[in-house]
Amino acid sequence: MNAIQNVTQNQSQTGQFGKAKLLINGEFVDSQTTVWQDIVNPATQQVLGQVPFATAAEVNAAIESAQNAFESWRQTPIQARMRIMLKLQELIRGKAKEIAKVLTAEQGKTLTDAEGDIQRGLEVVEHACSIGTLQMGEYVEGVARGVDSYTLQQPLGVCAGITPFNFPAMIPLWMFPMAIVCGNTFVLKPSEQDPLSTMMLVELAIEAGIPKGVLNVVHGGKEVVDMLCTHEHIKAISFVGSTAVGTHVYNLAGQHGKRVQSMMGAKNHAVIMPDANKGQTLNALVGAAFGAAGQRCMALSVAVMVGETKHWIDELVEKTKTLKVNAGHEDNTDIGPVISARAKARVLELIGSGVEQGAKLHLDGRDVVVPGYEQGNFVGATIFSGVSTDMRIYKEEVFGPVLAIICVDTLEQAMALINANPFGNGVGLFTQSGATARTFQNQINIGQVGINIPIPVPVPFFSFTGSRGSKLGDLGPYGKQAVQFYTQTKTITSRWFEDSHEAGEVNTTINLR
Ligand code: NAD
């Protein structure tokens, strides 16, 4: 695909995909930067391609092109914008398997999970096709004699999106389709670790008919992000990534007057009640803790076993032992590699801290070696029990296949523990009692709750509603909240006089008469 293939480059030097391009004013262009980073297959360390760290001039050019395109794009009829999304969803569906292969190669997750990554993003594009009703204003006739009030949901201007490595398809698709279909123009800054599959989606967006300048892409790291956060033309920033960077983005862009949403790190708990269906619950826990090698912001990292369920730990460990660690493209893989050697070193260090701080290690994934992929960044499933809240494996987001188990006696103790944790992304409850579920959903202070659902990521008719330490900003990505985020509500109060209307008297009060 044009966006990532540079046929003039020697592929043995730059990898199979060559150099990733920038998208500026409708053209996929080579960056003039001197700073490049290898895109590396985490299962093999093979260099797949290179990503540029765009120059300041290139970032400015991308923002300028978005600014120039805005006026005509916002005047483009809403059905025309919607039809581009209809085309885009068709194109993504047709190329999903091809994109999934690239996604697995650069990110490491299994092929089926890569297809899921694309599918969950595709659902947002499908929802964007309903923009005609989503972006409707409100109207009240007769708020005073002859006076009507109504609202317009108007696009903001140039918006920017900054995305993490762990969902290179879904998260860019949370952002640019909704922003653009609302009438904004967009500058996307994908993760520099795995931008290839994102660029394939961007190329499809251009093929679907997004006009030049409406969608732009710049690659890079902190410097590019900081430019987006401070540039006068950028009106809103959507960020998804770690807590440290998301807080920086929120503060910097906020200080520069931008609307910001930062969706950040997590520590997700599941509460297991003694009346839960044991087989289904244990399967759900294993899948949620170790799927995608634990590199999901909604991954399960703490199992809170209530009462007698502490006796289920051995069975949980046995089930976990059946998971197959291998390269994501190999058949029947359950756990692929983590994204980088650095990420692996960090996960191993955190596992070591758990041992040092006295947690009981039931399953140790540190020494896993995958035949044929000895260089891969593999970490096997790891399970600790006896974890206390002052341990690093409890306090820090591991972002690897590590499950911490804490045993408590009651539901109330479980809820108190979870409500005291600073993060608020997701939580699960496993029970067969409707009354327990109702108490839990009412009392738990977490933005996304699964009841017998291990990873409760809402579908796009709703919005992603992580809360507390996992989010800064009021409105979440996708769904109706995204329409609010990407539009400004303008309220019109209007009176039309009939020719015959008498002028009446001057009114110096605030009242409409
Ligand atoms: P990250 O914060 O390292 O990177 C995210 C983006 O910020 C990337 O585009 C990166 O280039 C940029 N960036 C990195 N360092 C920067 C800096 N110093 N200044 C400015 N920009 C910088 O995150 P990641 O490692 O790519 O992704 C994993 C994290 O994302 C985890 O913490 C995970 O929980 C979180 N995440 C959250 C959600 C959510 O919806 N809450 C979803 C997915 C991932």
Q: Residue 2 — pLDDT band, cuts 50, 70, 90?
A: low
pTM for the complete prediction? Answer: 0.96
Per DSSP bridges, beta strands 139-144 and 147-155 are antiparallel
Q: How many angstroms does the Cα of residue 111 sit away from the middle of ligand 1?
A: 23
For residue 383, which phi and psi values (nearest 5 degrees)?
-130, 130
Mean pLDDT of 334-349: 98
Q: For residue 125, what are its two tokens?
A: 């594009």
Helix (H, G, I), strand (E, B) or coil at 160: strand
Q: How many angstroms does the Cα of residue 163 sit away from the middle of ligand 1?
A: 7
240 lines ligand 1 (CB under 6 A): yes
Helix (H, G, I), strand (E, B) or coil at 506: coil
Per DSSP bridges, beta strands 185-189 and 158-162 are parallel
- Per-residue pLDDT, 510: 86
Q: What tens digit of pLDDT does each residue of 243-267 get?
A: 999 999 999 999 999 999 999 999 9
- Give the CA distances from residue 410 to residues 277, 416, 508, in Å, rounded to whole numbers and listed in that order: 18, 10, 64
Q: Residue 502 — pLDDT band, cuts 50, 70, 90?
A: confident
Helix (H, G, I), strand (E, B) or coil at 288: helix
Protein residue closest via CA to atom 17 of ligand 1 = 222
Q: What tens digit of pLDDT does each residue of 399-413 get?
A: 999 999 999 999 999
54 lines ligand 1 (CB under 6 A): no
219 lines ligand 1 (CB under 6 A): no
Q: Residue 34 — pLDDT band, cuts 50, 70, 90?
A: very high
β-bridge partners, 159: 186, 236
SS (H, E, C) 419-479: HHCCEECEEEEECCCHHHHHHHHHHCCCCEEEECCCCCCCCCCCCCCCEECCEECCCCCCH
The structural domains of the chain, ordered by start, are 18-265+483-491 (3.40.605.10), 269-451 (3.40.309.10)
Q: What tens digit of pLDDT does each residue of 5-20 get?
A: 543 344 456 788 999 9
Mean pLDDT of 453-461: 96
Instruction: Provide the mean pLDDT of the chain.
Output: 96
Residue with tokens 């260099």: 47
Q: How many angstroms does the Cα of residue 239 sit away from the middle of ligand 1?
A: 8
- Per-residue pLDDT, 198: 98
Which of 13-22, 35-44, 479-488 is the least confident region?
13-22
- Report the nearest atom of ligand 1 relative to the CA of 339: 25
Protein residue closest via CA to atom 36 of ligand 1 = 241
Cβ(189)–Cβ(20) below 8 Å: no
Q: Where does residue 233 rank: exposed (0-12), middle (13-18), buried (19+ CB within 10 A)?
A: middle
Selection from 223, 268, 283, 214 nearest residue 248 by Cα: 223
- Per-residue pLDDT, 8: 39
Residue 159 among the catalytic residues: no
Ligand 1: residue of 242, 399, 478 to mutate (most ligand atoms within 8 A of CB) is 242
**Is the model's pLDDT at 85 over the cut of 80?**
yes
Mean pLDDT of 340-345: 98
